[in-house]
């Protein structure tokens, strides 16, 4: 549950402990969706009239592709987040950093804001491991699995050069 009754929020803070599922309708077509439900924990409370503040954390896993070797990787995401929800047509509602909520709504639905925070947290480039060797630019072989023939071709050229040098000495 990531929707909260606005009227009761005004009088009492709530402890948030919910999940945003990978198949939630809030996700859009081009989104990097989580591969497991995103776990959201924290505290949501009124922060003056017509505004609500959330401070907490989101955690989940995103599927990506290593930018060097293109294998599938799972990226763990854990972000501390602070969100300010402001009712439309009130002071501060035009601030780009706040999330505007419909002043006629009975519920504060955190999901659109959480979706945005998730997308900001997902790294643009993933890497399977720090020392990934990547793919050979010539033949496309995965160099993590071992050197390809291109590498040995280079070696034999160097070898030939060494032989030439050896003869000249
Ligand atoms: Zn890699
Ligand atoms: Zn190669």
Element (H, E) at 118: helix 111-121
What's the average model confidence in pLDDT over 69-93? 92
Query: Per the domain annotation, does 126 fall within a domain?
Result: no
Domain of 161 in residue numbering reads as: 134-169
> Whose atoms come closest to the Cα of 152: which ligand?
2
Rg of the chain on CA atoms, in Å = 26
Query: Per the domain annotation, does 128 fall within a domain?
Result: no
Number of domains in the chain: 2
**Rounded Cα distance, 57 and 80, in Å:** 4
**58 or 88: whose pLDDT is higher?**
58
Domain co-membership, 110 together with 82: yes
Query: Per the domain annotation, does 127 fall within a domain?
Result: no
Of 50, 65, 168, the residue nearest 126 (C-alpha): 65
CA atoms within 13 A on the CB side of 152: 4
Domain co-membership, 106 together with 168: no
Q: What is the pLDDT of residue 96?
A: 85
Domain co-membership, 64 together with 147: no
Distance 65 CA to ligand 2 centre (A): 20
Phi first, then psi: give them for residue 53, nearest 5 degrees.
Answer: -120, 135
Domain co-membership, 154 together with 96: no
**153 or 35: whose pLDDT is higher?**
35
Distance 148 CA to ligand 2 centre (A): 5
pLDDT tens digits along 109-122: 999 999 999 999 99
Q: How confident is the model at residue 165 (pLDDT cuts 50, 70, 90)?
A: low
Distance 127 CA to ligand 2 centre (A): 20
**1 or 9: whose pLDDT is higher?**
9
């Amino acid at each position: 549950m990531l929707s909260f009754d606005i009227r009761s929020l005004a009088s009492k803070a709530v402890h948030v402990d919910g999940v945003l599922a990978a198949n939630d309708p809030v996700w859009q077509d081009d989104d990097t969706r989580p591969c497991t439900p995103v776990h959201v924990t924290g505290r949501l409370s009124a922060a003056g009239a017509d505004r609500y503040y959330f401070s907490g954390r989101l955690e989940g896993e995103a599927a990506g592709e290593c930018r060097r070797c293109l294998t599938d990787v799972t990226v763990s995401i854990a972000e501390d987040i602070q969100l300010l929800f402001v009712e439309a047509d009130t002071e501060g509602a035009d601030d780009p950093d706040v999330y505007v909520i419909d002043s006629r709504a009975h519920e504060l639905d955190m999901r659109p804001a959480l979706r945005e925070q998730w997308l900001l947290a997902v790294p643009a480039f993933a890497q399977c491991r720090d020392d990934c060797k990547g793919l050979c630019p010539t033949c496309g072989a995965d160099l993590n699995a071992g050197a390809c023939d291109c590498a040995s071709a280079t070696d034999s050229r160097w070898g030939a050069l060494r032989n030439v040098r050896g003869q000249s000495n």
